Protein backbone atom coordinates (compact mmCIF):
# COMPACT_ATOMS: atom_id res chain seq x y z
CA UNK A 1 0.00 0.00 0.00
CA UNK A 2 1.38 3.39 -1.03
CA UNK A 3 0.61 5.65 1.90
CA UNK A 4 2.11 5.62 5.37
CA UNK A 5 -0.12 5.28 8.40
CA UNK A 6 0.66 7.26 11.51
CA UNK A 7 -0.34 7.56 15.11
CA UNK A 8 -2.60 10.50 15.81
CA UNK A 9 -1.48 13.46 17.90
CA UNK A 10 -1.14 12.62 21.59
CA UNK A 11 -2.91 15.84 22.65
CA UNK A 12 -6.15 15.24 24.52
CA UNK A 13 -9.21 15.62 22.30
CA UNK A 14 -12.56 16.93 23.50
CA UNK A 15 -14.94 14.10 24.44
CA UNK A 16 -18.34 14.82 22.89
CA UNK A 17 -18.19 16.37 19.43
CA UNK A 18 -15.45 16.12 16.86
CA UNK A 19 -13.32 19.21 17.01
CA UNK A 20 -9.81 19.94 15.82
CA UNK A 21 -7.02 21.77 17.60
CA UNK A 22 -7.81 24.89 15.53
CA UNK A 23 -11.31 25.13 17.02
CA UNK A 24 -13.16 23.84 13.95
CA UNK A 25 -16.15 21.59 14.61
CA UNK A 26 -16.13 18.65 12.20
CA UNK A 27 -19.59 17.56 11.11
CA UNK A 28 -19.06 16.47 7.53
CA UNK A 29 -17.78 13.01 6.51
CA UNK A 30 -16.97 11.86 2.97
CA UNK A 31 -16.76 8.12 2.55
CA UNK A 32 -15.26 6.43 -0.48
CA UNK A 33 -16.71 2.96 -1.03
CA UNK A 34 -14.51 2.01 -3.97
CA UNK A 35 -11.60 3.51 -5.86
CA UNK A 36 -12.72 1.82 -9.09
CA UNK A 37 -14.05 4.16 -11.76
CA UNK A 38 -15.64 3.55 -15.15
CA UNK A 39 -14.34 6.89 -16.51
CA UNK A 40 -10.76 7.86 -17.27
CA UNK A 41 -11.04 11.64 -17.04
CA UNK A 42 -7.86 13.09 -18.50
CA UNK A 43 -7.27 15.47 -15.58
CA UNK A 44 -7.83 12.79 -12.95
CA UNK A 45 -6.45 9.45 -14.14
CA UNK A 46 -3.59 8.42 -16.37
CA UNK A 47 -5.74 5.57 -17.72
CA UNK A 48 -3.03 3.08 -16.80
CA UNK A 49 -4.24 2.00 -13.37
CA UNK A 50 -7.48 0.57 -12.09
CA UNK A 51 -8.32 0.13 -8.45
CA UNK A 52 -5.32 0.31 -6.13
CA UNK A 53 -6.84 -0.08 -2.69
CA UNK A 54 -9.03 -2.76 -1.07
CA UNK A 55 -12.72 -2.19 -0.37
CA UNK A 56 -14.39 -2.91 2.96
CA UNK A 57 -17.63 -4.82 3.32
CA UNK A 58 -20.79 -2.71 3.42
CA UNK A 59 -21.36 -3.72 7.07
CA UNK A 60 -17.85 -2.53 7.89
CA UNK A 61 -18.43 0.92 6.36
CA UNK A 62 -21.66 1.07 8.32
CA UNK A 63 -20.01 0.31 11.62
CA UNK A 64 -17.35 2.97 11.04
CA UNK A 65 -19.83 5.60 9.84
CA UNK A 66 -22.03 4.97 12.91
CA UNK A 67 -19.05 5.77 15.12
CA UNK A 68 -18.53 9.07 13.34
CA UNK A 69 -22.24 9.94 13.57
CA UNK A 70 -22.17 9.24 17.31
CA UNK A 71 -19.35 11.79 17.49
CA UNK A 72 -21.40 14.54 15.86
CA UNK A 73 -21.15 13.97 12.09
CA UNK A 74 -24.31 15.32 10.48
CA UNK A 75 -23.55 15.13 6.77
CA UNK A 76 -22.40 11.98 5.02
CA UNK A 77 -21.45 12.04 1.36
CA UNK A 78 -20.80 8.72 -0.37
CA UNK A 79 -18.17 8.91 -3.09
CA UNK A 80 -15.38 7.01 -4.82
CA UNK A 81 -13.95 6.12 -7.37
CA UNK A 82 -17.40 5.72 -8.83
CA UNK A 83 -19.78 4.78 -6.01
CA UNK A 84 -22.54 3.52 -8.35
CA UNK A 85 -20.22 0.66 -9.32
CA UNK A 86 -20.25 -0.63 -5.78
CA UNK A 87 -22.28 -3.75 -5.04
CA UNK A 88 -24.36 -3.21 -1.90
CA UNK A 89 -24.71 0.55 -2.38
CA UNK A 90 -28.50 0.50 -1.98
CA UNK A 91 -28.22 -1.51 1.26
CA UNK A 92 -25.71 1.01 2.57
CA UNK A 93 -27.96 3.96 1.73
CA UNK A 94 -30.97 2.25 3.30
CA UNK A 95 -29.09 1.75 6.58
CA UNK A 96 -27.57 5.26 6.58
CA UNK A 97 -31.00 6.78 6.03
CA UNK A 98 -32.08 5.24 9.36
CA UNK A 99 -29.27 6.86 11.35
CA UNK A 100 -29.93 9.97 13.44
CA UNK A 101 -27.58 12.80 14.33
CA UNK A 102 -26.86 13.74 17.94
CA UNK A 103 -29.81 16.17 17.62
CA UNK A 104 -32.12 13.32 16.58
CA UNK A 105 -32.40 14.48 12.95
CA UNK A 106 -31.87 12.33 9.87
CA UNK A 107 -28.39 12.60 8.38
CA UNK A 108 -27.87 14.96 5.48
CA UNK A 109 -27.17 12.10 3.06
CA UNK A 110 -25.72 12.78 -0.39
CA UNK A 111 -23.67 11.07 -3.06
CA UNK A 112 -21.23 12.21 -5.73
CA UNK A 113 -21.25 10.35 -9.03
CA UNK A 114 -20.17 10.67 -12.64
CA UNK A 115 -23.83 9.92 -13.46
CA UNK A 116 -23.14 7.13 -15.97
CA UNK A 117 -25.41 4.64 -14.18
CA UNK A 118 -27.88 7.12 -12.71
CA UNK A 119 -30.53 6.63 -15.37
CA UNK A 120 -31.38 3.26 -13.84
CA UNK A 121 -30.22 3.87 -10.26
CA UNK A 122 -31.72 7.29 -9.47
CA UNK A 123 -35.18 6.01 -8.51
CA UNK A 124 -33.90 3.06 -6.41
CA UNK A 125 -31.44 5.37 -4.63
CA UNK A 126 -34.23 7.79 -3.78
CA UNK A 127 -36.42 4.94 -2.57
CA UNK A 128 -33.55 3.71 -0.39
CA UNK A 129 -33.42 7.11 1.34
CA UNK A 130 -30.75 9.10 -0.51
CA UNK A 131 -31.61 12.80 -0.42
CA UNK A 132 -29.53 14.34 -3.18
CA UNK A 133 -26.76 13.78 -5.67
CA UNK A 134 -23.97 15.80 -7.18
CA UNK A 135 -23.14 14.78 -10.72
CA UNK A 136 -19.72 15.52 -12.19
CA UNK A 137 -19.95 16.85 -15.73
CA UNK A 138 -17.03 18.69 -17.19
CA UNK A 139 -18.60 19.89 -20.46
CA UNK A 140 -22.02 20.50 -21.98
CA UNK A 141 -20.66 19.87 -25.45
CA UNK A 142 -20.74 16.10 -26.18
CA UNK A 143 -17.40 15.79 -28.08
CA UNK A 144 -15.55 17.85 -25.45
CA UNK A 145 -17.17 15.80 -22.68
CA UNK A 146 -16.09 12.53 -24.27
CA UNK A 147 -12.57 13.78 -24.95
CA UNK A 148 -12.33 14.35 -21.19
CA UNK A 149 -13.97 11.12 -19.96
CA UNK A 150 -12.40 9.00 -22.75
CA UNK A 151 -15.66 6.99 -22.87
CA UNK A 152 -17.67 7.09 -26.11
CA UNK A 153 -21.39 7.76 -25.60
CA UNK A 154 -20.84 9.04 -22.08
CA UNK A 155 -22.36 12.49 -22.59
CA UNK A 156 -25.88 11.32 -23.39
CA UNK A 157 -25.72 8.64 -20.71
CA UNK A 158 -24.90 11.29 -18.09
CA UNK A 159 -27.50 13.71 -19.38
CA UNK A 160 -30.17 10.99 -19.01
CA UNK A 161 -28.78 10.32 -15.54
CA UNK A 162 -29.08 13.98 -14.56
CA UNK A 163 -32.68 14.08 -15.76
CA UNK A 164 -33.52 10.80 -14.02
CA UNK A 165 -32.09 12.15 -10.77
CA UNK A 166 -34.14 15.32 -11.06
CA UNK A 167 -37.30 13.35 -11.88
CA UNK A 168 -36.65 11.01 -8.93
CA UNK A 169 -36.45 14.03 -6.58
CA UNK A 170 -32.75 13.72 -5.73
CA UNK A 171 -32.69 17.45 -5.28
CA UNK A 172 -31.31 20.07 -5.06
CA UNK A 173 -29.29 18.59 -7.89
CA UNK A 174 -25.77 19.90 -8.28
CA UNK A 175 -23.48 19.58 -11.28
CA UNK A 176 -19.73 19.80 -10.61
CA UNK A 177 -17.43 20.98 -13.37
CA UNK A 178 -13.67 21.07 -12.91
CA UNK A 179 -12.31 23.77 -15.21
CA UNK A 180 -8.96 23.43 -16.92
CA UNK A 181 -7.52 26.04 -19.21
CA UNK A 182 -7.25 24.73 -22.74
CA UNK A 183 -9.50 21.71 -22.05
CA UNK A 184 -12.96 23.00 -21.15
CA UNK A 185 -12.70 26.67 -20.17
CA UNK A 186 -14.72 27.49 -23.30
CA UNK A 187 -17.66 25.71 -21.61
CA UNK A 188 -18.22 28.34 -18.91
CA UNK A 189 -20.94 30.30 -20.69
CA UNK A 190 -22.59 27.07 -21.96
CA UNK A 191 -22.81 25.79 -18.39
CA UNK A 192 -24.44 29.04 -17.28
CA UNK A 193 -27.17 28.45 -19.89
CA UNK A 194 -27.39 24.75 -18.91
CA UNK A 195 -27.98 25.71 -15.24
CA UNK A 196 -31.00 27.73 -16.31
CA UNK A 197 -32.40 25.32 -18.90
CA UNK A 198 -32.08 22.20 -16.75
CA UNK A 199 -32.85 24.01 -13.48
CA UNK A 200 -29.76 22.68 -11.74
CA UNK A 201 -27.05 24.30 -9.62
CA UNK A 202 -23.73 24.27 -11.47
CA UNK A 203 -20.52 24.35 -9.42
CA UNK A 204 -17.27 25.25 -11.10
CA UNK A 205 -14.28 23.85 -9.25
CA UNK A 206 -10.70 25.04 -9.49
CA UNK A 207 -8.39 22.22 -10.51
CA UNK A 208 -6.23 21.01 -7.60
CA UNK A 209 -2.91 19.14 -7.75
CA UNK A 210 -4.51 15.76 -7.02
CA UNK A 211 -4.23 14.04 -10.39
CA UNK A 212 -2.55 10.67 -11.00
CA UNK A 213 -0.22 12.16 -13.60
CA UNK A 214 1.55 15.52 -13.72
CA UNK A 215 -0.82 17.97 -15.36
CA UNK A 216 -1.28 20.59 -12.67
CA UNK A 217 0.36 23.97 -13.05
CA UNK A 218 -0.87 27.31 -11.65
CA UNK A 219 -1.56 28.39 -15.25
CA UNK A 220 -4.01 25.55 -15.95
CA UNK A 221 -6.24 26.65 -13.04
CA UNK A 222 -9.14 28.89 -14.13
CA UNK A 223 -9.55 31.23 -11.13
CA UNK A 224 -12.85 32.23 -9.54
CA UNK A 225 -12.41 35.86 -10.56
CA UNK A 226 -12.13 34.99 -14.24
CA UNK A 227 -15.18 32.67 -14.12
CA UNK A 228 -17.35 35.38 -12.56
CA UNK A 229 -16.15 37.99 -15.06
CA UNK A 230 -16.81 35.77 -18.05
CA UNK A 231 -20.34 34.81 -17.02
CA UNK A 232 -21.17 38.38 -16.06
CA UNK A 233 -20.27 39.54 -19.57
CA UNK A 234 -23.16 37.47 -21.00
CA UNK A 235 -25.54 37.20 -18.02
CA UNK A 236 -25.35 39.42 -14.93
CA UNK A 237 -24.83 37.46 -11.69
CA UNK A 238 -26.17 38.31 -8.25
CA UNK A 239 -24.29 36.97 -5.20
CA UNK A 240 -26.31 34.72 -2.85
CA UNK A 241 -25.62 34.78 0.91
CA UNK A 242 -23.81 31.74 2.38
CA UNK A 243 -26.20 29.24 4.00
CA UNK A 244 -23.58 28.12 6.52
CA UNK A 245 -20.08 29.16 7.54
CA UNK A 246 -18.48 26.00 6.13
CA UNK A 247 -20.08 26.33 2.68
CA UNK A 248 -17.33 25.76 0.12
CA UNK A 249 -19.03 27.39 -2.89
CA UNK A 250 -19.48 31.11 -3.48
CA UNK A 251 -23.02 31.09 -4.87
CA UNK A 252 -24.67 33.34 -7.43
CA UNK A 253 -27.99 33.48 -9.20
CA UNK A 254 -28.99 35.34 -12.36
CA UNK A 255 -30.84 38.65 -12.47
CA UNK A 256 -34.21 36.88 -12.93
CA UNK A 257 -33.50 34.39 -10.10
CA UNK A 258 -33.57 31.34 -12.44
CA UNK A 259 -30.61 28.96 -12.10
CA UNK A 260 -27.67 28.90 -9.71
CA UNK A 261 -23.93 29.02 -10.23
CA UNK A 262 -21.39 28.29 -7.53
CA UNK A 263 -17.64 28.51 -7.61
CA UNK A 264 -15.42 26.40 -5.40
CA UNK A 265 -12.02 28.04 -5.30
CA UNK A 266 -9.69 25.94 -3.13
CA UNK A 267 -6.64 27.24 -5.00
CA UNK A 268 -7.14 31.00 -5.35
CA UNK A 269 -9.45 31.59 -2.36
CA UNK A 270 -8.86 28.70 0.01
CA UNK A 271 -11.57 28.07 2.60
CA UNK A 272 -9.56 25.86 4.99
CA UNK A 273 -10.36 28.14 7.96
CA UNK A 274 -14.00 27.05 7.76
CA UNK A 275 -13.36 23.40 6.84
CA UNK A 276 -15.73 21.02 8.63
CA UNK A 277 -14.76 17.87 6.76
CA UNK A 278 -12.85 14.63 7.13
CA UNK A 279 -12.63 11.65 4.81
CA UNK A 280 -12.69 7.89 5.09
CA UNK A 281 -10.99 6.09 2.19
CA UNK A 282 -12.36 2.91 0.63
CA UNK A 283 -9.83 0.88 2.63
CA UNK A 284 -10.81 2.49 5.92
CA UNK A 285 -8.13 5.14 6.46
CA UNK A 286 -9.06 8.52 7.93
CA UNK A 287 -7.73 11.51 5.97
CA UNK A 288 -8.11 14.79 7.79
CA UNK A 289 -7.30 16.89 4.70
CA UNK A 290 -7.28 16.21 0.95
CA UNK A 291 -3.60 17.12 1.07
CA UNK A 292 -2.67 15.10 4.19
CA UNK A 293 0.73 13.50 4.03
CA UNK A 294 -0.35 10.83 6.53
CA UNK A 295 -3.36 8.55 6.85
CA UNK A 296 -4.79 6.98 9.98
CA UNK A 297 -5.69 3.31 9.86
CA UNK A 298 -9.13 3.07 11.45
CA UNK A 299 -10.06 -0.16 9.69
CA UNK A 300 -6.84 -1.88 10.82
CA UNK A 301 -7.82 -1.14 14.42
CA UNK A 302 -11.35 -2.38 13.87
CA UNK A 303 -10.10 -5.59 12.26
CA UNK A 304 -7.78 -6.24 15.18
CA UNK A 305 -10.76 -6.25 17.51
CA UNK A 306 -10.70 -2.78 19.08
CA UNK A 307 -13.92 -1.82 20.89
CA UNK A 308 -16.26 0.90 19.60
CA UNK A 309 -15.12 3.02 22.54
CA UNK A 310 -11.46 2.74 21.56
CA UNK A 311 -12.21 3.33 17.90
CA UNK A 312 -14.21 6.45 18.80
CA UNK A 313 -11.32 7.73 20.90
CA UNK A 314 -8.98 7.09 17.96
CA UNK A 315 -11.29 9.04 15.62
CA UNK A 316 -11.51 11.96 18.05
CA UNK A 317 -7.73 12.09 18.54
CA UNK A 318 -7.10 11.87 14.82
CA UNK A 319 -9.56 14.61 13.95
CA UNK A 320 -8.07 16.77 16.69
CA UNK A 321 -4.79 16.71 14.75
CA UNK A 322 -6.38 17.97 11.49
CA UNK A 323 -4.07 20.19 9.45
CA UNK A 324 -4.63 23.95 9.68
CA UNK A 325 -4.68 24.36 5.89
CA UNK A 326 -3.29 23.13 2.60
CA UNK A 327 -0.15 24.58 0.98
CA UNK A 328 -1.00 24.47 -2.73
CA UNK A 329 1.28 26.75 -4.72
CA UNK A 330 3.73 27.34 -1.84
CA UNK A 331 7.42 26.37 -2.05
CA UNK A 332 7.90 22.80 -0.82
CA UNK A 333 4.27 21.79 -1.51
CA UNK A 334 3.99 18.01 -1.69
CA UNK A 335 1.22 16.16 -3.48
CA UNK A 336 -0.41 13.52 -1.28
CA UNK A 337 0.51 9.90 -1.97
CA UNK A 338 -3.03 9.17 -3.23
CA UNK A 339 -4.71 10.98 -6.08
CA UNK A 340 -8.32 12.22 -5.95
CA UNK A 341 -9.88 9.07 -7.39
CA UNK A 342 -8.20 6.95 -4.69
CA UNK A 343 -8.97 9.37 -1.84
CA UNK A 344 -12.63 10.02 -2.64
CA UNK A 345 -13.62 13.39 -4.02
N1 LIG B 1 -16.80 9.29 -9.67
C2 LIG B 1 -17.46 10.29 -8.90
C3 LIG B 1 -17.60 11.55 -9.71
O4 LIG B 1 -17.22 11.56 -10.88
O5 LIG B 1 -18.13 12.53 -9.19
C6 LIG B 1 -16.84 10.58 -7.55
C7 LIG B 1 -15.36 10.66 -7.46
S8 LIG B 1 -14.63 12.04 -8.33
C9 LIG B 1 -12.94 11.82 -7.86
C10 LIG B 1 -15.21 13.41 -7.38
C11 LIG B 1 -15.00 14.78 -7.95
O12 LIG B 1 -13.65 15.14 -7.88
C13 LIG B 1 -15.43 14.94 -9.39
O14 LIG B 1 -16.29 16.04 -9.49
C15 LIG B 1 -14.14 15.24 -10.09
O16 LIG B 1 -14.33 16.06 -11.20
C17 LIG B 1 -13.36 15.94 -9.00
N18 LIG B 1 -11.92 15.97 -9.21
C19 LIG B 1 -11.12 14.97 -9.61
N20 LIG B 1 -9.85 15.38 -9.67
C21 LIG B 1 -9.84 16.68 -9.29
C22 LIG B 1 -8.82 17.66 -9.14
N23 LIG B 1 -7.55 17.37 -9.37
N24 LIG B 1 -9.18 18.90 -8.73
C25 LIG B 1 -10.48 19.19 -8.47
N26 LIG B 1 -11.48 18.29 -8.57
C27 LIG B 1 -11.17 17.06 -8.98
Q: What is the pLDDT of residue 234?
A: 87
Q: Ligand 1: residues within 6 Å at CB? A: 37, 44, 79-80, 82, 112-114, 136, 176, 178, 205, 207-208, 210-211, 340-341, 345
Rg of the chain over Cα atoms, rounded to whole angstroms, equals: 19
Gap from CA of 84 to ligand 1 centroid (Å): 14
Q: How many helices (H) and strands (E) does the chain have?
A: 10, 12
Tell me the residue range of the domain where 313 lies: 28-343
Question: In the prediction, which pLDDT does 47 show?
Answer: 83
Whether residue 228 contacts residue 179, with contact meaning beta carbons closer than 8 Å, is answered with: no
50 belongs to a structural domain: yes
Residue nearest to atom 11 of ligand 1 (CA): 345
For residues 319 and 18, the answer to whether their CB atoms sit within 8 Å is yes
**Span from the CA of 24 to the centroid of ligand 1 (angstroms):** 25
Q: Quote the ligand 1 centre to 338 CA distance (angstroms).
A: 13
CATH number of the domain to which 323 belongs = 3.20.20.70
Closest CA to ligand 1's atom 14: 136
- How far, in Å, from the CA of 285 to the mean position of ligand 1? 19
Q: Is residue 94 a part of any domain in this protein?
A: yes
Ligand 1 atom nearest to CA at 207 = 24
Question: How many other C-beta atoms can be found within 10 angstroms of the C-beta atom of residue 275?
Answer: 24
Cα distance from N-terminal residue to C-terminal residue, the chain: 20
Q: Is 201 helix (H, G, I), strand (E, B) or coil?
A: strand
Partners of 174 in the β-ladder:
134, 201
Q: For residue 14, is it within any domain?
A: no
State the closest ligand 1 atom to the C-alpha of 44, by its place in the atom list counted from 1: 20
Each residue's pLDDT tens digit, 220-279: 999 999 999 999 998 899 999 999 888 899 999 988 888 899 999 999 999 899 999 999
Tell the residue nearest (CA) to atom 12 of ligand 1: 345
How close is the Cα of 340 to the center of ligand 1, in Å? 6
* 235 occurs within a structural domain: yes
Does residue 23 fall inside a structural domain?
Answer: no
Q: What is the pLDDT of residues 159-182, one digit of tens each?
A: 999 999 999 999 999 999 999 999
Give the Å distance between the CA of 161 and the centre of ligand 1: 17
Number of domains in the chain: 1
279-334: pLDDT as tens digits: 999 999 999 999 999 999 999 999 999 999 999 999 999 999 999 999 998 999 99
Look at residue 155 and tell me if it is in a domain.
yes
Residue with CA nearest ligand 1 atom 2: 113
Check whether 4 has a pLDDT greater than 90. Answer: no
Nearest atom of ligand 1 to the alpha carbon of 37? 1
Residue 61's Cβ-count burial label (10 Å; 0-12, 13-18, 19+) is: buried
CA of 30 to the centre of ligand 1 (A): 13
Which helix (H) or strand (E) is 17 found in, with range?
none
Among 76-90, 114-128, 323-337, whose mean pLDDT is lowest?
323-337
**Assigned domain for 32 exists:** yes
Amino acid sequence: MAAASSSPSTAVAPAARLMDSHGRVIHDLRVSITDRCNYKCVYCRTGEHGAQYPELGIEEYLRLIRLFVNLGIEKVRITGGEPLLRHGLLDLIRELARLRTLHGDPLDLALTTNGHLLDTLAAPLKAAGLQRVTVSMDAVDAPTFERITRIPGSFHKVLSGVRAARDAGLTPLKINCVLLRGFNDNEIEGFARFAREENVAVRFIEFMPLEEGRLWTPEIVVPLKEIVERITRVMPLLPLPPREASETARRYTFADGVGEIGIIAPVTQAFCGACSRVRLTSDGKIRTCLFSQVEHDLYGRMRSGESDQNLSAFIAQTVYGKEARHHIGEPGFLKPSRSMVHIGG
